[in-house]
Amino acid sequence: MKKVILITGASSGMGKETAKKLIQEGHIVYTVARRIDQMEDLKDMGGHPIKMDVTNEEDIQNVVDTIVKEQGKIDVLWNNAGFGLYGSIEDVPLDEARKQFEVNVFGMAAMTQKVVPIMRKAKAGTIINTSSMGGKMYFPMGAWYHASKHAVEGLSDCLRLELKQFNIHVVVLEPGFIATEFGSVLLDGFNKLPKDSAYRDLMDKIMEGTKKAAQGNGSSKPTVISDSISKIVNSNNPKTRYRVGKFAKPMVWMRTYLGDDLFDKIVMSQM
């Protein structure tokens, strides 16, 4: 069945690969991101790219109004926009931390607030929120990123219970290591931090590990995400969580069952 789908953060990586798959499946796919020039190929395929900033509520309202005017409904919202901010709590400026939450949490919430009334009126819909395996566990230097994804998890659980009465499904996507721009953004963030940071040795080790993961077999291809999103979109009763990609399931299992001390030792042994 053809569905009207809205995807944020679709200019690259998981969002773009999934948009291609959903367009090929015959769905009506609206993709939004700040870099609209990077979505021209989606337009050529039959998609509907629109420039939008998830931290700008006027942008969000204009996009939602456009879709409703053209299609009369929104069946699926995939809140996929987000980025990773890494660095010690001591070093990362609080203004940068606030930006992390503005995009990863409040941007997602703003999109949801605009779309839910449409789905509620239709008594149907699916909202997919991109969390991370990092929403269930943690690595050093990732406090603000992990905090934002832990927030996504909690917000999504509450939202699921609130919307159940309106036949709106809320699904949490928890990717592991995926071959996207995430690593390069993380490295750029490290380069902005003080060169004489007390945490420089730890940062260097994490940077080295990130580079190796990007170059070798340390990440899954974005297609594992597109396959999962396709299953969710085409399901009448999707699961509440989809944990996919390199290391996602074993890392969350270890965090859940090994306890703090042992998990800490395992993580730091890789540093």
- Determine which one of 3, 11, 21, 246 is catalytic: 11
**String of b and e for 48-87 (b: at least 16 CB within 10 Å)?**
bbbebbbeeeebbeebbeebeeeeeebbbbbbbbbbbbbb
Query: Annotated catalytic, 131?
Result: yes
Quote the CA–CA distance of 45 and 22 in Å, as a whole number.
11
Query: Annotated catalytic, 11?
Result: yes
- Determine which one of 149, 156, 226, 228 is catalytic: 149
- Determine which one of 138, 145, 199, 242 is catalytic: 145
Ranges of beta strands (E only) in the chain are 4-8, 28-33, 48-51, 76-79, 125-130, 168-175, 241-244
Residues 6+ apart with CB under 8 A from 43: 49
Q: Which two tokens stand for residue 33?
A: 């991101």
- Determine which one of 3, 86, 131, 242 is catalytic: 131
Radius of gyration over every alpha carbon of the chain, rounded to an integer in angstroms: 19
How many residues in the chain? Answer: 271
Query: Annotated catalytic, 30?
Result: no
Asked whether the beta carbons of 23 and 47 are under 8 A apart, the reply is: yes
Query: Annotated catalytic, 149?
Result: yes
Three-state DSSP class for 9?
coil
Residues designated catalytic: 11, 131, 145, 149
